[in-house]
Amino acid sequence: MLKYIIKRILYAILILLGVSLLLYILVRMMPVSFVEAKIVAMNQGGAQIPEETIQAMYAMYGLGDNSFGGILSGYFSWLGALARFDLGTSWLQQNSVLDEIVNHMGVSFIIAFIAIIFEYLIAIPLGVTAATHQYSVRDYTVTVLVMIGISLPSFFFGRVMQNLFAMRLGWFPPAGLTDASQNFSGAALIGDYLSHIFLPLVVMVLLSVGGTMRYMRTNMLEVLTSDYIRTARAKGLPESKVIYKHAFRNTMIPIVTMLAGVLPSLFSGAMITEQVFDLPGIGNVALKAMQAADIPFIMGYNMFLAFLSVIGVLLSDLMYAIVDPRVKLY
C-alpha cells in the first residue's frame, strides 16, 4: 500500500507539472490582457499614455515578450516562485493570491459541502426507487423531473428563484451573504447567513441532483440483473433485504469513482451561482479574475484545483480497496 501511494504521488507531481505548463501557455494566449484593459481605462479618463509607459507596464507585469521563448521564461519564473510556496500577487485584487484563495474559500466550501450532502440524500433514494420500479409511473416521473433540473442553465434558474422568492414574495434576501444594515450576533447572525445562502443552495442542489440520481439508477439496474440477486430472491429473502443489503452495497463501488470530483468541487466554488447571488466565494472571485486576465490568480486558483483533483483521484483509488476487498493495490 505504501509503495503504491509513493508511486502515485510521483506520478501526480509529473501530471501537475504538465498541467501547469499547458495552463500557463493557454492563459498567456487569452484574447484579453490585463495591461490592455488598464490602458483602455486610462485612455477613457482622458489621459494620453506614451508608448514608453505602455511598454514599461507590459514589462512590469512580465508580459513584454509574447514569443514562445518569452512564455517559457515566464513559466519557469512562475514555477520557481511556486517552489518557494509563493503564488504571487493578484493584479486585480492587489493582494497575495494565497490570501485571496484562503479568504474566499470558506464561503464556497460551506455552501458546496451542504449542497453535496443534500444532493446525495435526495439523489440516492430517488435512484434506488426509480430502479426498483423501472418503467413505472414513479420511474418516469422522477426521470422527467431530474431531466428538467439538468436542462436548466444555472444563471437562468438562479434568476428565476431570485425574482420569485426574493423580489416578489420577499421570503429571502436577493443577494449577498449578510445584511449590511443590521448588526447581528450569535443565533441571529447564523440565521442571517442561512437566509442568504438558502436560495443558492436550492439552485445548486436541484441542478446537480439529476446527474447523481441517473448514475445511481443505472448502477442499481445493473446490479439487480446479477445472478446473486436472483439467487437471493430465490431463497425467499424479503425484497427490502435484497435491495438494501445485497444490491445497494454493490452499487456503492461505482459511486466511489465520483469521490475524485467531490474534493475539488468543495473548494472550486459555483462561479455562475455565486455571481447571480453576489456571494463572496472563490468562484465569483475567480470569474472576475478570468475576465480581467489576472494571470497570477488564474494560475494559483487552477493549480489549487488541479492539486485537489489529483488528491481526489488517489483517495478514490484507496477507497476502492476499502469498499471492495477484492481490489488489490500494488
b/e burial code for range 152-178 (CB count within 10 A of at least 16 → b): bebeebbeebbeebbeeeeebbbeebe
Question: Where are the domains positioned within the chain?
Answer: 2-96, 98-323
- Report the chain (330 residues): mean pLDDT per 10 consecutive residues: 77 88 87 78 70 76 77 86 85 87 87 88 86 84 82 85 88 82 77 86 86 83 82 81 77 70 75 85 87 88 88 76 61
How many CB atoms lie under 10 A from the CB of residue 270?
26
Q: What is the pLDDT of residue 327?
A: 59
pTM summary value = 0.80
Residues 225, 19: Cα–Cα separation, whole Å: 41
Q: What is the pLDDT of residue 292?
A: 84
Q: What is the pLDDT of residue 175?
A: 83
Which residue shows C-alpha cell 455552501?
Answer: 111
CATH class of 98-323: mainly alpha
Q: What is the pLDDT of residue 323?
A: 62
Q: What is the pLDDT of residue 47?
A: 64
Q: For residue 124, give the C-alpha cell.
A: 440516492
Helices 97-132/259-268 angle, 10° precision: 140
